[in-house]
């Protein structure tokens, strides 16, 4: 007999992964959320945080959207503002959408195709509106006459996006792109009415098409959402819009946040950081708390990038030696272990994607502690039987722990690494993301992670390995600067290919080919430990985002 009252039991460990906890269509009340950090932006064109993208689902609608579905169907965009999925023609080069009738902004003005086109045009104004994804720019821009956005080049530019009538929008891409519906589900294409655009300040007073609008935002303190009186449930197949208000408390210290969350003051940690050590500890001895937790994969891959342009990593035998020498168990521990660190992996694609395959190109022995004989053989083949000196780049905190575990792993075969810590805030823009910084510090190895901006094989792998996506100026994700004509060519072939099964096979080939280069040492598919409060209904981890789908939730009681 448990002495915990039955009522308080949650739905069970991991009940919100792949299924819904506390299904309900009860409306009303206030959903109480908490976050340590503020939103990056409330301008839909300028946000990149996953949790803000989930928050945007409350505020804004897009032509396509990921459905409210905890299963694999959640990975496939469905029509939202559009009446149907994009109609592709000209071998995936032309995409046409027709808008639903009767959708209004929260100021009561109708949403037209021109408002969607205007949102797309704003993405080109990266000088004024930086921060969001820019996948559409190379697909739609004319390199001979680059478009600089509506502020500098007006709204008549960008002939690749056409609005033949107020409900039709046509995109003419420069090259085929089979995942286009996914790009039409990103917040950055939420319609923006030109009459309300204030450029860089739009996020302070954005117009909304979703079931909620911003009732107040005190930066660093609190964000309040209220119902959008002009949202019409009948036009929205995606959003249940249950609570009357959403109240986000911002700026708490992570341990304080966990404390007050598990005490019932908040329903969900919006930011999805996961429970910290202190709370994890309390959980271990408390079956009720444990029954209210989920331990999903986040779809982030943690890996170490090996840099072929920094000797001796130009020698493939050196790169292979590092792969074989890796103590995978030690590295997983450095990440936080199997629950809050993640699942060990020897392949790249997250398990949710169709192309995920078992692939272990550089075995590390039966206990996964490293195959030191294989590593030494590779070092001999490289002409470096006694090892060598090199530098590994990282940042302080969790990435530092990973770097230390790499140092320890490869020291066993004579590779002597020193650790260089780069600035945390600019790590992905100007540190690991800058080819120049890497050369300046001679970083032969770099600790990093990556999560896809849309849940497809292209979305996951192309930014990491497509040579055409290297960004020399910073913000580069293809850190190893892999530029293999065969990999690039295979990616182009997939983008032309309509048949899903063929695409799956082609992506598996891309992954094998990438692993042959030995420039990515995969560590874990990341996992987090989330807590769901007992008042929250319809709680599930959204498969496309790896975090709770806030817009799906309601509350049991009016508060």
Q: Is 509 helix (H, G, I), strand (E, B) or coil?
A: helix
DSSP per-residue letters across 519-552: -EEEEEEEE--EEB-TTEESB-B-TTTSSB-GGG
Site string for ligand ARG, 390-409 (x = CB under 6 A): --------------------
Nearer to ligand ARG, 450 or 540 (CB): 450
Which letter, b or e, does each residue of 230-245 get, where b requires 16 or more Cβ atoms within 10 Å of its Cβ?
Answer: bbeeebbebbbbbbbb
Q: Does 134 bind ligand ARG (CB under 6 A)?
A: no
Nearer to ligand ARG, 13 or 48 (CB): 48
How near is the Cβ of 458 to ligand ARG at its closest, in Å? 13
How near is the Cβ of 454 to ligand ARG at its closest, in Å? 7
Q: Does 450 bind ligand ARG (CB under 6 A)?
A: yes
DSSP per-residue letters across 45-79: TS---HHHHHHHHHH---SEE--S-SSGGGGS-EE
Length of the chain: 559
Distance (Å, whole) CA 119 – CA 197: 10
| 527 contacts 231 by C-beta, under 8 angstroms | no
Distance (Å, whole) CA 482 – CA 464: 8
How near is the Cβ of 479 to ligand ARG at its closest, in Å? 12
Nearer to ligand ARG, 134 or 280 (CB): 134
How near is the Cβ of 546 to ligand ARG at its closest, in Å? 9
CA atoms within 13 A on the CB side of 365: 15
Nearer to ligand ARG, 21 or 55 (CB): 55
Place of tokens 């206990």: 367
Among 48, 244, 398, 513, binds ligand ARG (CB under 6 A): 48
Q: Does 53 bind ligand ARG (CB under 6 A)?
A: yes
CB atoms within 10 A of CB 285: 8
Nearer to ligand ARG, 410 or 462 (CB): 462
Distance (Å, whole) CA 400 – CA 377: 29
Distance (Å, whole) CA 445 – CA 310: 9
- As to burial, measured by CB atoms within 10 angstroms (0-12 exposed, 13-18 middle, 19+ buried), residue 351 is exposed
Q: Does 130 bind ligand ARG (CB under 6 A)?
A: no
Tokens representing 496 are 């032309």
Q: Is 218 helix (H, G, I), strand (E, B) or coil?
A: strand
Helix (H) or strand (E) holding 227: strand 222-227
Q: Does 50 bind ligand ARG (CB under 6 A)?
A: yes
Q: Does 474 bind ligand ARG (CB under 6 A)?
A: no
How near is the Cβ of 408 to ligand ARG at its closest, in Å? 26
Q: Which residues between 316 and 335 bind ligand ARG (CB under 6 A)? A: none
How near is the Cβ of 545 to ligand ARG at its closest, in Å? 7
Distance (Å, whole) CA 509 – CA 426: 34
Nearer to ligand ARG, 50 or 139 (CB): 50
Residue count, binding to ligand ARG (CB under 6 A): 6
Among 18, 130, 352, 451, binds ligand ARG (CB under 6 A): 451
Q: Looking at 48-56, 80-88, 160-168, 189-197, which segment touches ligand ARG (CB under 6 A)?
A: 48-56
Nearer to ligand ARG, 370 or 546 (CB): 546
How near is the Cβ of 221 to ligand ARG at its closest, in Å? 24
Beta bridge partners of 347: none
Among 271, 453, 511, 549, binds ligand ARG (CB under 6 A): 453
How near is the Cβ of 289 to ligand ARG at its closest, in Å? 28
Tokens representing 460 are 């996951």
Q: Does 303 bind ligand ARG (CB under 6 A)?
A: no
- What are the residues binding ligand ARG (CB under 6 A)? 48, 50, 53, 450-451, 453
């Amino acid at each position: 007999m448990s002495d915990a009252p039955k009522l308080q039991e949650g739905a069970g460990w991991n009940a919100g992964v792949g299924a819904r906890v506390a299904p309900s269509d009860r409306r009303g009340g206030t959903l109480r959320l908490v976050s340590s950090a503020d939103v990056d932006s409330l301008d839909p064109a300028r946000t990149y945080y996953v949790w803000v993208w989930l928050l945007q689902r409350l505020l804004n609608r897009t032509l396509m959207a990921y459905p409210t579905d905890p299963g694999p169907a959640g990975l496939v965009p469905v029509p939202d503002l559009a009446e149907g999925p994009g109609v592709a023609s000209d071998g995936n080069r032309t995409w046409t959408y027709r808008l639903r009738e009767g959708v209004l902004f929260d100021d009561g003005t109708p949403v037209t195709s021109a408002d969607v086109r205007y949102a797309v045009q704003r993405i080109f104004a990266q000088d004024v509106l930086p921060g969001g994804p820019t996948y559409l720019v190379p697909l739609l821009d004319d390199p001979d006459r680059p478009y600089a956005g509506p502020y500098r080049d007006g709204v008549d530019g960008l002939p690749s996006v056409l609005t033949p009538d107020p409900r039709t929008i046509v995109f003419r891409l420069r090259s085929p792109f089979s995942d286009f519906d996914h790009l039409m589900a990103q917040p950055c294409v939420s319609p923006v009415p030109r009459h309300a655009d204030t450029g860089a300040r739009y996020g302070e007073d954005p117009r909304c098409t979703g079931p909620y609008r911003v009732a107040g935002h005190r930066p660093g303190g609190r964000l309040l959402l209220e119902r959008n009186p002009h949202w019409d449930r009948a036009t929205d197949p995606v959003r249940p819009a249950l609570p009357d208000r959403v109240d986000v408390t911002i700026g708490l210290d992570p341990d304080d946040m966990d404390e007050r969350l598990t005490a019932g003051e908040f329903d969900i940690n919006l930011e999805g950081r996961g429970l910290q050590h202190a709370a994890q500890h309390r959980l271990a001895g408390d079956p009720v708390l444990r029954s209210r937790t989920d331990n999903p994969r986040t779809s982030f891959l943690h890996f170490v990038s090996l840099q072929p342009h920094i000797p001796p990593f130009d020698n493939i035998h050196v790169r292979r030696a590092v792969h074989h020498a890796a103590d995978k168990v030690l590295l997983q521990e450095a990440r936080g272990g199997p629950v809050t660190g993640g699942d060990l992996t020897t392949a790249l694609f997250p398990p949710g994607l169709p192309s995920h395959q078992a692939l272990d190109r550089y075995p590390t022995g039966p206990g996964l502690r490293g195959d030191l004989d294989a590593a030494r053989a590779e070092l001999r083949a490289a002409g470096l039987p006694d090892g060598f000196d090199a530098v590994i780049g990282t940042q302080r905190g969790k990435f530092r722990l990973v770097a230390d575990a790499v140092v320890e792993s490869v020291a066993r075969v004579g590779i002597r690494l020193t650790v260089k810590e780069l600035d945390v805030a600019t790590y992905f823009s100007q540190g690991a993301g800058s080819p120049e910084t890497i050369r300046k510090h001679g970083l032969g190895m770099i600790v990093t992670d990556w999560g896809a901006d849309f849940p497809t094989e292209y979305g996951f792998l192309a930014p990491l390995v497509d040579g055409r996506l290297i960004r020399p100026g910073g913000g580069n994700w293809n850190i190893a600067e892999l530029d293999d004509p065969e990999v690039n060519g295979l990616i182009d072939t997939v983008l032309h290919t309509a048949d899903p099964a063929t695409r799956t096979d082609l992506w598996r080939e891309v992954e094998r080919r990438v692993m042959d280069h030995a420039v990515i040492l995969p560590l874990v598919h990341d996992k987090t430990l989330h807590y769901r409060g007992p008042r929250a209904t319809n709680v599930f981890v959204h498969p496309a985002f790896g975090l709770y789908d806030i817009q799906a939730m309601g509350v049991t009681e009016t508060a």
